[in-house]
Chain A
Amino acid sequence: MPEKTTVILNQSGIERALTRIAHEILERNKGTEDLVLVGIRAGGDHLAAELARRIAVIEGEKIGLGAIDITMYRDDIGSRGSLPVGRTDIPFDIDDKKVVLVDDVLFTGRTIRAAMDAIIDLGRPRNIQLAVLVDRGHRELPIRPDYVGRNVPTAREEDIEVEFDANHQPREVRLIKH
């Protein structure tokens, strides 16, 4: 069957969603004190950088920005084989920090579980919050995002694709029906 693609967020839609999430993060955490962003590779790290930029504009203060690769924390090496491992780069101490995990698409929740395990191996944050651009449902674990750009109810066999340009700027979110 041919694929059918629907654009569910264009560039300006993504930008509005990120600006709103940046405000919500600041509102909920009452500013930037002890606040850090950690993006999940690959995709979440680019969005985390965008959120950090917006927070810096709004508050006039830079906050800690890191990226985490969760390949080593996946639970499916037996079924999916050894996937390429990326780099974790968190250039600050996360003890007692308020860590906002950032990802592009929230699906089963297994990636977020792996990311939380990875964060906890690096230190003891005060709390972990979750920001996602798209929540497509189908959770297999009790995980709920704190900040959502857009809720998109999907069928299991559908895919959500977030496209970034060469400068890692988010360009479009598409729903693909197979």
Chain B
Amino acid sequence: MSFGHKHILGIEQLSREDIFYILDTAESFKEINTREIKKVPTLRGKTIINLFFEASTRTRTSFEIAGKRLSADTINISASSSSVVKGETLEDTARNIEAMHPDIIVMRHGASGAPHYLAERLDCSVVNAGDGAHEHPSQALLDLFTMREKKGRLEGLEVAIVGDITHSRVARSNLYALTRVGARVRLSGPGTMLPPGIDRLGATVCDSLEAAVEGADVVMMLRIQLERQSRGGPLLPSLREYSRFYGLTPEKLKLARPDALVMHPGPMNRGVEIASSVADGPQNVILDQVENGVAVRMALLYLVAGGEAPANE
């Protein structure tokens, strides 16, 4: 098959076949990252702009390394240095950037749907690097890549995702991706952090961390995003209470399968959602996630660079 997408806006747009095609392509790119000369000329002459309206080190660096390893010219623009702080609209920013003829824009924005807005208006490819509480497709794909690498399969895996589901684009993208490839997803978090009706997307909602973790093949802990909670008042009585009920400790991890993987999209709040001993324990694959992120993002950049936009995209 070939890849028919010009943009990567969310997992929601990708079929099961698309997801496996991306993961298989990433396998080939992973080999490059272990070479002495970590560079191939695949995207030579292409320009990639990393347009980050929200703070990010990990994702932006990962996309930047991915672009550079494919020999593309990568330029980073962050909100603090852009004209957004001077009052420019997103559309004007986009038009100005387009006048510089980039081939791909990698975009992170605090508003859900911002990359879609850009994709509709610009000729170049747009890759969503996280939009509000909506989607974070490259994170979900690198999570799936890591699960498949460590477990040898995705179908039938029991994956527990624990934390602030409402504000988590990682949880939403993972939920779409995992259910599409035949894994089963259990969600757990305080009632104030579980969006009503999320079970209609194919997840099982568990009323405690213990119920979610029991017998799981993968336990994915989410970061408590304190910065997102100030808007509508606190959703937690205290971090201490959250940690007691929803923090992953060695004792609670014992409820999962003995070979269960511990994942976290980072950055971690040690001692809040995850105990340090678990974060550094033998079951954690958190740094594998970071390493695989580069290969997955190389695959995404490569595929959109040669992808065509179907009529409905």
**Chain A residues with a Cβ under 8 A of chain B:** 69, 71-74, 77-78, 80-88, 117-118, 121-123
CB-contacts of B281-313 with A (<8 A): 299, 302-303, 305-308
* Separation of A5 and B202 alpha carbons in the complex (Å): 53
Complex CA–CA separation, A71 to B43 (angstroms): 11
Chain A contacts of B24 at CB under 8 A?
A: 84
B residues adjacent to A (C-beta < 8 A): 1-3, 21, 24-25, 27-29, 31-32, 35-37, 39-43, 70, 299, 302-303, 305-308
Most chain-A CB neighbours within 10 Å: which of B1, B2, B299?
Answer: B2
Nearest first, the 8 closest Cβ-Cβ pairs linking A and B are A82-B306, A81-B306, A85-B28, A72-B40, A72-B42, A77-B306, A121-B37, A82-B303
In the bound complex, CA of A73 to CA of B3 (Å):
18
Q: CB-CB < 8 A to B1: which residues of A?
A: 84
Nearest opposing residue in chain A for B4, CB measure: A81
B119 smallest CB distance to A (angstroms): 18
Q: Evaluate contact between B40 and A73: CB separation under 8 angstroms.
A: yes
Contact A121 B39 (CB under 8 A): yes
**Contact indicator A82/B37 (Cβ below 8 Å):** no
**How many residue pairs at the A-B interface have CB separations less than 8 Å?**
59
* A110 CB to nearest chain B CB (Å): 13
CB–CB B35/A87 < 8 A: no
Query: Smallest Cβ distance from B38 to chain A, in angstroms?
Result: 9
Q: In the bound complex, how far is the Cα of B305 from the Cα of A77, in angstroms?
A: 8
Given contacts A69-B28, A121-B35, contact A85 B302 (CB under 8 A): yes
Chain B residues in 8 Å Cβ range of A78: 306
Q: Is the Cβ of A83 less than 8 Å from the Cβ of B306?
A: yes
State the Cβ distance, B19 to closest chain A Cβ, in Å: 15
Which residue of chain B has the shortest Cβ distance to A85 in the bound complex?
B28
On chain A, the residues within 8 Å of B302 by CB distance are 72, 82, 85
Residue among A82, A84, A117 with most chain B CB within 10 A:
A82
Query: B2 to A82, Cβ gap below 8 A?
Result: yes
A130 to B140, CA, bound (A): 43
Closest to B26 in A: A85
A81 in contact with B307 given A72-B41, A86-B28, A117-B41 (CB within 8 Å): yes
How long is the Cα–Cα vector from A95 to B25 in the complex, in angstroms? 28
Q: Which chain B residues border A86 with CB–CB below 8 Å?
A: 28
